[in-house]
């Protein structure tokens, strides 16, 4: 027997409202600093790649889209969280909640596939350097990036449409954004189909991207092991260091969230881990690529020197 339900026009995002006001003020400042750093860092990477000709390569073409995705999916969540943390207004309208879920799912899935495409790019660059420019042509790179976005759009449409056509018995979301599972818990009807779709798509995305990444890096290791000089091996591995760090942080976090036992899958742990992969990871990516990548640091130094020189000659 289904429960009684009413037409829901808005949802209430509980977020961190159960914490003391003093702590909420600290959380607001922390989230604001993280968001500003995320936008500034990723926008800086995009502009650096655009204006520095040395970075007009497939690797940095993918990196610029990774930065764009990080800005977009962090921006789909953080501003509303900041508003909810700073004021007593915790509501979000029905349509805005659906849009937030759609954007979040789309960009997270797109980032998963983009990291896999970047792993394939590193494999081609190290194992087939003479054919690199042919295999990773501009058309191929554009096709790979568009495919990442397309998979994100498909997954987002499936989850958003299937979730928001359900009848709802309540409107209080026990989270700080409109994630799929918290929204499904409000439904009066059977959500087994929705959960099955979520499991199928999540398993496909995670398993396919991890397989591509693992196979790429296994082939890279085999290829590099045949290099006799230690300097050559170091140079080959150094080109993968930033990317490997980024994918490790991203996928380990996702696996910890969705593969932990239900017994420890509590509300607080969900919110903390969700903060990490919705806000902290987008902030870390530009730091990882700027601090661990000599080409990015060199390009930044050249750009600064050019700006200083142009100012001094004015």
Give the pLDDT score at 263: 37
Mark out the alpha helices in the chain (DSSP H runs).
Answer: 21-51, 58-75, 78-86, 94-127, 132-135, 138-164, 180-184, 192-225, 230-258, 267-275, 281-291, 294-312
Element (H or E) spanning 107, and its range?
helix 94-127
The span from the CA of 294 to the CA of 297, in Å, is 5
The span from the CA of 301 to the CA of 101, in Å, is 39
What does the block give as tokens for 183? 């929204």
7-22 tens-digit pLDDT? 778 898 887 766 666 7
Looking at per-residue pLDDT, the higher value among 284 and 92 belongs to: 92
What is the rounded average pLDDT for all residues in the chain? Answer: 82
Q: Which of these, 173, 153, 164, lies nearest to 108 by C-alpha position? A: 153
- Only one residue has tokens 């970075």, namely 55
27-60 tens-digit pLDDT? 889 999 999 999 999 998 898 888 887 878 898 8
Give the pLDDT score at 301: 62
Hey, what CATH class is 10-293 in? mainly alpha
What does the block give as tokens for 21? 């006001």
What does the block give as tokens for 87? 């004021």
The span from the CA of 120 to the CA of 280, in Å, is 25
What residue segments make up the domains of the chain, in order of their start? 10-293
Give the pLDDT score at 1: 41
Distance from chain centroid for Cα 182: 20
| 289 and 193 Cβ atoms separated by less than 8 Å | no
DSSP for residue 4: P
| 61 and 137 Cβ atoms separated by less than 8 Å | no
* Percent of the chain's residues with pLDDT above 90: 33
Least confident stretch, 37-51, 77-91, 221-235, 251-265: 251-265
118-171 tens-digit pLDDT? 999 989 988 888 899 999 999 999 999 999 999 999 999 999 999 999 888 888
The span from the CA of 116 to the CA of 213, in Å, is 5
């Amino acid at each position: 027997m289904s429960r009684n339900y009413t037409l829901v026009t808005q949802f209430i995002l509980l977020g961190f409202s159960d914490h003391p006001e003093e702590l909420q003020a600290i959380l607001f400042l922390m989230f604001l600093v993280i968001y500003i750093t995320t936008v500034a860092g990723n926008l800086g990477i995009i502009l650096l790649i655009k204006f520095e000709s040395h970075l007009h390569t497939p690797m940095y073409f993918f990196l610029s889209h990774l930065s764009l995705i990080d800005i977009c999916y962090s921006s789909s969540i953080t501003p509303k969280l900041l508003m909810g943390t700073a004021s007593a207004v915790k509501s979000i309208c029905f349509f805005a909640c659906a849009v937030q879920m759609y954007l979040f799912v789309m960009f997270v899935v797109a980032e998963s596939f983009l990291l896999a495409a970047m792993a394939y790019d590193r494999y081609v660059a190290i194992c087939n350097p003479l054919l690199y420019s042919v295999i990773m042509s501009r058309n191929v790179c554009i096709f790979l990036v568009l495919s990442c976005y397309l998979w994100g759009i498909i997954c987002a449409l499936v989850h958003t449409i299937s979730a928001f056509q359900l009848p709802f018995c309540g409107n209080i979301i026990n989270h700080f954004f409109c994630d799929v599972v918290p929204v499904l818990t409000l439904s009066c009807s059977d959500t087994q189909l929705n959960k099955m779709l979520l499991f199928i798509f999540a398993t496909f995305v995670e398993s396919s991207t991890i397989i591509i990444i693992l196979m790429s890096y296994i082939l890279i290791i085999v290829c590099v092991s045949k290099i006799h000089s230690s300097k050559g091996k170091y140079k080959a591995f150094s080109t993968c260091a930033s990317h490997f760090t980024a994918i490790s942080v991203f996928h380990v976090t996702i696996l910890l969230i969705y593969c932990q036992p239900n017994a420890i899958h509590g509300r607080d742990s969900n919110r903390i881990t969700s903060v990490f992969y919705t806000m902290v990871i987008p902030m870390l990516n530009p730091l990882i690529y700027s601090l661990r990548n000599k080409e990015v640091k060199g390009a930044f130094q050249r750009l600064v020197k050019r700006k200083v020189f142009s100012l001094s000659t004015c």
